[in-house]
Amino acid sequence: MPEGDTIHKLAAALRPMLEGATLSAVATRARRGDPLLEHGAMEAGAVQARGKHLLLDLQAADGRLWQLRTHLGMYGTWHQYALGAAWHKPDPSAWAVLTLADRVLVCFHPRELQWRPHVSGAADVPQLDARVGPDLLDPAVDLEAVVARVRARADAARPILDVLLDQSLAAGIGNIYKSEVLFIHGWHPLTAVGAISDTALLAIYHEAAHLLRRNLKPGPRITRERAETNEYLYVYGRIDQPCRTCGVPIQRALLGEHGRSTYWCPSCQTGNPAPILPHQRGRT
């Protein structure tokens, strides 16, 4: 699952290439195994990131407005090629092909791709609004409203790690930030969200928004305030290594609704979590 800052950085990279550009051809694939569907020449408009969704506005020669939405998931990527250059991945794995005057942009293996009419020229449609909560990278995001949204929509018994990964509550937090933010604020990943006060929950989302914004710049993702070279994170990816605060070995297990890799310090991160079952203690 990509972090929200990844998609915002992708949008920033694509924006100067696409916004205002003429595309001589646009093609998309509706489902795996389907042929690419040609949409003809288009004028590209705004390139936006909303949570983990990349949105590209397009206008056809007949004046109709369209929007291409992609969600990369774990394996999706966008590639850039010179005209006529060989692609690094097989043609059937391309789900969107955008041809410009001097290059081709190809989206391979997205988790989701949707080609749809651009409803009334609005950047969002009700379907996306229902799936994607406030973007933590939106400069105008109201974090107190995010906390209120969590209280209204999440079961109080739901573990905090699942709440943080739920993009319908707030968009942008992925697996790395989930583990890192919970370490910074000292909460065990399996702590029920109802056991966390509004003040503490607000602090967690403030931290996540701060780290996401901090990592919009080029370079490695960093969550530590002072990081040595190649030592940028507190717990993620550091199973059995000593905690940077107390020295106790970092633990890892496949936790939560989707069995995602989760890292934590058993000494620094407190709470009253449910027991971790033996099958959850994968080490890969």
Q: Are 52 and 7 in contact (CB under 8 A)?
A: yes
3-state class (DSSP) for residue 2: coil
Q: Are 44 and 20 in contact (CB under 8 A)?
A: yes
Catalytic annotation, pick one of 2, 159, 189, 273: 2
| Active-site residue flag, 38 | no
Catalytic annotation, pick one of 52, 180, 189, 273: 52
What is the Cα–Cα distance from 174 to 240, expressed in whole angstroms?
22
| Active-site residue flag, 275 | no
Please state the length of the chain. 284
What is the Cα–Cα distance from 11 to 70, expressed in whole angstroms?
11
Task: Say how many CA atoms lie within 13 Å of 107 toward its Cβ.
Answer: 27
Residue with tokens 């989206």: 107
What is the Cα–Cα distance from 190 to 231, expressed in whole angstroms?
26
What is the Cα–Cα distance from 250 to 245, expressed in whole angstroms?
11
| Active-site residue flag, 112 | no
Strand partners, 234: none
3-state class (DSSP) for residue 127: helix
Residues annotated as catalytic are: 2-3, 52
